[in-house]
Structure 1
Amino acid sequence: MPNQQNSVLDRVGAWWSSPTNQTDLLQTTKSVVAATVAWGLAEMVLGLEQAFLAPWVALLTVHASVYRTFWRGAQTVLAVATGVLLSLVVVQVLGSSVWSFGLALLVGMVLARVPVYRDEGVTVATTALFVITTGYHASTEHTIELLPDRLLATAIGVVVALIVNLAVLPPLNDRSAQQQIDAIDRKLGALLGDMAVQLRRPQEEQEEDDWIERTRGITADINHAWRLVGTALESGSWNPRRRRHPAEQIQDYPQVLVRLEEGVSQTQSIARLVRESDRDAQTWDARFHERYTDLLAEAGRRVADPEPELAALRRDLRSLADDLSTEDLSGKLWPLYGALIANLQMIVDVVDDVATARPVRT
């Protein structure tokens, strides 16, 4: 029983230690706070007749960064105001009916395609939907009278969302991007190490297709890292925490990801070359096989834990190429050997660039 409790506590601790999970929890809390405060101001303080617009707009406006909250907030105001005015015009022309409801939704969905509304385009239609259905039995005059209240409720939602996102620990998201990059390093290094281990086994025990599939998985991780880096760069804009927690290394992350993409490409090339040589039943020269496999394993270790001191590895690669160039090896295998050495040389260059531009490892 104590072991099970420790296991649960370990899982909870691991979940909580993730910067991504911490940010998600913080954003959820901020959304709830912003919507609740907006509702209280609109309903209990100002007594607006359609106060529901305030918390709804607040929920739409709270985003992962102060920068995005501001710009998406501006789009939300525009979209909601358009939806309110659209509902007013339609009700004025057709009255409160099924036809006015359908027409408002149609026009709102068409306007959602207009570039100026961008990601908040559908908000035009949903606002018109809410406004018409909540005031379905109201007279046209009363609908017009409600217009200032609706716009004021919208403004309350946006302002409260901005204040909450500014005041309550606006996230920087640096650590999420950093952890993702570190995970990619480890996965790529582990793959190179596993390839080296399997290359020491008989050909029928090598799993080249699995190597290639793993490179695809790492590529997906890199794509996710690009999104995290974009969010981290964006989250620093207009963020008061940036002055207290500068993170210049975030500017290096795009360069690191570009080099890791190249490393994955070279690793996949090695896997494909090995697979093709197996299919052609080409037997590697024992001298090349042993030394190249050792170098591949060492490169994997350096990728998993990048180190700037790579002179010895570079020297060993050059020595391998120089020594074999004087040997009487099969001409059929030299294109394979040359390509494998060139791929590994590129991976070493990647390690060098990543190590010199590294953020502090988590």
Structure 2
Amino acid sequence: MTKIFRERLHGTAHWWRRALAWSGHERHTALLIGKSALAATLAWFVAHHLMQAQSPAFAPFSAVLVMQTTVYQSVLHSLRYTGAVVVGVAVQTALALTLGPGWPAFALVALVTLGIGRWAKLGSQGAQVPTAAFFAFATFVAAEPGDRLAQLGQIVLLVLIGCATATAVHLALVPPMRHRSAEFGIGILARAFAGLLADATSALREEERGEERTGRLDHTDALIAQARADLRTAQESVSFNPRRYLRGHRGHTSFDGYATVLEALVRTLYQMASLHRSLDQWHEEHERHGDGAFLRNYARFLDALQEFAQVLGDLDEDRLPGQARRLGRLAEEAGELRHALAEEAVRQGLPLADPSRPYGVLVVEATRLWEECRRASDALRQWVES
């Protein structure tokens, strides 16, 4: 037990050292925890000490619930959560006043609010419709008949106080500009692309690593989803964020260039999957002969793309102009190798039109991969220049 405790203590200390030293996930998490605690405390103070509300916990609970990674998400969750609470309380009030505070009214409240909670517009806050209705019903039953409407109105007011407090704290204390999230998402896909390129060159040089290659392909969809989520977080971090207007702020207010690069990488991953399937089928069904020069040229072309992917995998806005220029040069070099590859295939008289042989597919995929890399390079260059 002592050893386990020491290991956990060491892990916690390491986590906090990273949070203090590096502006990454740990620091963002620590800031979010601190801001949530502060918002909850302020909301409790207003509800309990200033308002002397009978159910003050609604305010800090609401503040913590709507505190999200970005200001945009906090505002969105606040609106949805407030809407869900208002709907739940309104439905409960209407049915309880009509049918009385008995169990038939509660059953009907549960049925109606659970159905409303499925409304897609409420998103993840849909579950708060029945939750608010149940708390409101309990308040309705416990309150004196002449005080019921005031108590129900107070619930809505406390929710508004909690949401407003959380949003104000989020805006006032270091609202995050998550530019690095976009770069992290691109890095995820670029490194996956580089790995698939390395596996393909090994296959072409008869150095098989089939299990590793299959593992990379199996995780492609999950990596794409993660990268798109990271880009979306970066885009949302700009909305409603006052830091974008501060003098001296160097961050981007648009991520169009990164978005273009990310989608180009998505297409390259799908193209690499097609290329790998062709290579695997070819190895199983055919013997190679007379195509050594073509395959060596193809491997060199993939090596050039791998170097391009490695630069994308280390994308950094502080070094972006230089990286954009280097990516442009690498794209040009890959284009020259692709052109030489196509000429070599024609010179050797390889059966490009034979669907049972991979040569035609390899040439087509080479063109598509190069076009996506050039598109990514051009997008970054134009974005930097603008």
Residue 143 of structure 2 aligns to a residue whose secondary structure is coil
- 1:318 is aligned, of 339, 344, 364, to 339
Q: Which amino acid aligns with 1:342?
A: V
Distance 1:102 1:333, change over 3 A: closer
Which sits farther off after the overlay, 342-351 or 322-331? Answer: 322-331
2:369 matches 1:347: yes
Distance across 1 between alignment mates of 2:361 and 2:301: 15
Question: Quick one: which amino acid aligns to residue 368 of structure 2?
Answer: M
CA distance in 1, matches of 2:204, 2:15: 36
1:308 corresponds to: 328
Asked if the contact 2:71–2:237 (Cα under 8 Å) also holds between the matched residues in 1, the reply is yes
Aligned partners of 2:175 and 2:243 also within 8 Å: yes
Partners of 1:140 and 1:235 in 2: how far apart? 47
Please tell me whether the aligned partners of residues 19 and 30 of structure 2 are also in contact (alpha carbons under 8 angstroms).
no
Query: C-alpha separation between the residues in 1 aligned to 2:62 and 2:81?
Result: 7
The 8 Å contact of residues 39 and 55 in structure 1, kept in 2 or not, is answered as yes
The superposition leaves residues 147-191 of structure 1 with CA deviations (integer Å, 9 ceiling, x where unpaired) of 342232122112112211111211222212211211321221122
Instruction: Give 5+ residue unaligned stretches, structure 2.
Output: 1-6, 313-326
Q: Percent identity?
A: 25
Equivalence for 1:299: 305
- Structure 2 CA distance for aligned equivalents of residues 148 and 262 of structure 1: 53
The Cα offsets for residues 318-347 of structure 1, whole Å up to 9 and x where unpaired, read as 223213322355675995223212212322
In the other structure, the counterpart of 1:242 is 244
Give the Cα–Cα distance (whole angstroms) in 2 for the partners of residues 197 and 342 of structure 1: 20
Q: How does 1:102-251 map to 2 (within 5 A)?
A: 102-114=107-119, 117-134=122-139, 136-201=141-206, 205-207=208-210, 210-244=212-246, 245=249, 246-248=251-253, 250-251=255-256
State how far apart, in whole Å, the 2-side matches of 1:191 and 1:250 are: 26
- The 2-side partners of 1:70 and 1:139 are apart by 35
For the 8 Å contact 1:190–1:301, the answer to whether it is kept is no
RMSD over aligned Cα atoms: 3.0
> For each residue in 1:169-227, what CA deviation from the matched residue of structure 2 results, as whole angstroms up to 9, or x when unmatched?
1122221221121132122112212321343236xx441x6424413423321221112
Q: Which stretch shows the higher mean deviation, 254-263 or 136-145?
A: 136-145
Q: Aligned letter for 1:214? A: R
Give 5+ residue unaligned stretches, structure 1.
none
Structure 1 residue 337 corresponds to structure 2 residue 359: yes
Distance change >3 Å, CA 126–CA 329, structure 1 → 2: closer
1:87–1:132 CA contact under 8 A, matched in 2: yes
Residues in 2 aligned to 1:92 and 1:69: alpha-carbon distance in whole angstroms:
34
Letter in 1 for 2:328: P
| TM-score of the pair, normalised by structure 2 | 0.81
TM-superposition CA deviations, 1:100-135 (whole Å, max 9, x none): 332222221122234564543321210111222355
* Cα displacement string for residues 45-69 of structure 1 (whole angstroms, at most 9, x for unaligned residues): 1101122221222223222322332
- 1:302-361 CA-partner distances (Å, limit 9, x unpaired): 21214211333322222232133223556759952232122123222222232343499x
Cα separation, 2, equivalents of 1:153 and 1:315 = 66
Mapped to 2, the partners of 1:224 and 1:282 lie a distance apart of: 39
Q: Check the 8 A contact 2:99/2:105 in 1, yes or no.
A: yes
Residues 178, 116 of structure 1: CA spacing in aligned structure 2 closer, same or farther, 3 A cutoff?
closer
Distance 1:44 1:11 in 2: 36
Q: Cα 1:344–1:212, aligned 2, differ >3 Å: closer, same or farther?
A: farther
> With CA pairs under 8 Å and 6+ residues apart, which has the higher RCO, 1 or 2?
1
Please give the per-residue CA displacement for 1:4-59, whole angstroms capped at 9, x wherever unaligned.
Answer: 99x96777656774733433332233222222211111011110112222122222
Letter in 2 for 1:288: F
Question: For residues 110 and 130 of structure 1, what CA distance do their matches in structure 2 show?
Answer: 17
Q: TM-score, normalised by structure 1?
A: 0.85
